[in-house]
Structure 1
Amino acid sequence: MPVSAETEFDIDATPDAVMEVLRDVEALPDWSDPHQNVEVLERYDDGAPKRIRAKVSATGISDEMIIDYTWTDTTCSWELVEADKLSMQKGKYTVTATDGGAHVAFELAIDLKIKVPGFIVKGQQKKAVETARQGLTAEVLRRVG
């Protein structure tokens, strides 16, 4: 059964600064603890990542995934192509301007191929939301100085 998580938060930086961090998918391991390694396999003509291979580990479960990205000026969305332990993953960051910086909406839905106790799944949902909010915010603020 698919599970989903959402959060919204503000960052004291421009939407362009936030999107720049999101486009730098190879740096995901710097600010997203579950990401062990990210390799860009294919890029769009403008240089944005189109397909990646990611190695992730969370709560003792490791997986290698192929993920396709879609980009606009204000969104970063992705969808799982293949993985060993996940059967589905869709996610999206939507970044909009505010008076003081950027507002970020994060959505994530996953479904597992393997049986995992519910409390572990719920813990991973919470960690994904915390990483989206805290990890992304810290990385954007670190880069803008």
Structure 2
Amino acid sequence: MADKTKRSISIAAPSSRVMDVIADYDAYPEWVAAAKSVEVLARGANGRARRVRFVLDAGMVKDTYELDFDWASDGKSVRWSLASAEIQKSQDGSYTLEDLPDGTTTVTYELTVDLNIPMIGLFKRKAEKAITDTALKELKKRVEG
């Protein structure tokens, strides 16, 4: 199994607020720089997205892909896996939220991506690190802003 990239950030908001922002896929193009369009294709019984289509343009990397989501019943985590894509072979990821006594939330993002094109492991891990760092910084700005 491929190594996961794991990054964390502290956000000055309760986990319920953070998860609401994570789950609002319709708003992603407003605050996720690389998301050109995002469409919820199916919702679960809890109203949360079950399948979402993303059109991504991150400069040299462009892809249209669909992810399937699995939401924890406690509202503290979400996991996803790749359903279909143009250049990705697989993608598995998760957000896990931890409420802290001071009212902040630690958000941990784990991500593994494999592409249909060969990529040296070192470059792949650097790309995953850049993706997770950017995603967490954009999330923090959206929640706290």
Shorter-chain-normalised TM-score: which range? 0.7 to 0.9
8 Å contact kept, 1:3–1:110: no
Superposed, 1:122-133 pairs within 5 Å as 122-133=125-136
Q: 1:114 and 2:117 equivalent? A: yes
Which residue of the partner structure matches residue 11 of structure 1?
A: 11
With the length of structure 2 as denominator, give the TM-score of the two structures: 0.88
Tell me how far apart the structure 1 counterparts of residues 140 and 101 of structure 2 sit (CA, whole Å): 17
Superposed, 1:61-100 pairs within 5 Å as 61-72=61-72, 73-100=75-102
Q: RMSD of the TM alignment (CA)? A: 1.9
Give the match's secondary structure for 1:52: strand
The 1:4/1:82 distance shift into structure 2, 3 A limit, reads same
Aligned-pair distance for 1:127? 2.1
* 1:56-97 deviation per Cα after TM superposition (whole angstroms, max 9, x unaligned): 122422111011011121002111011110000011000011
The 1:38/1:97 distance shift into structure 2, 3 A limit, reads same
8 Å contact kept, 2:52–2:68: yes
Aligned length: 142
The 1:135/1:79 distance shift into structure 2, 3 A limit, reads same
* Percent of aligned pairs sharing the same letter: 29
Give the match's secondary structure for 2:4: strand
Which residue of the partner structure matches residue 58 of structure 1?
A: 58
Aligned-pair distance for 1:122? 4.3
With the length of structure 1 as denominator, give the TM-score of the two structures: 0.88
Tell me how far apart the structure 2 counterparts of residues 103 and 11 of structure 1 sit (CA, whole Å): 6
Structure 1 stretches of 5 or more lacking a match? none
Structure 2 stretches of 5 or more lacking a match? none
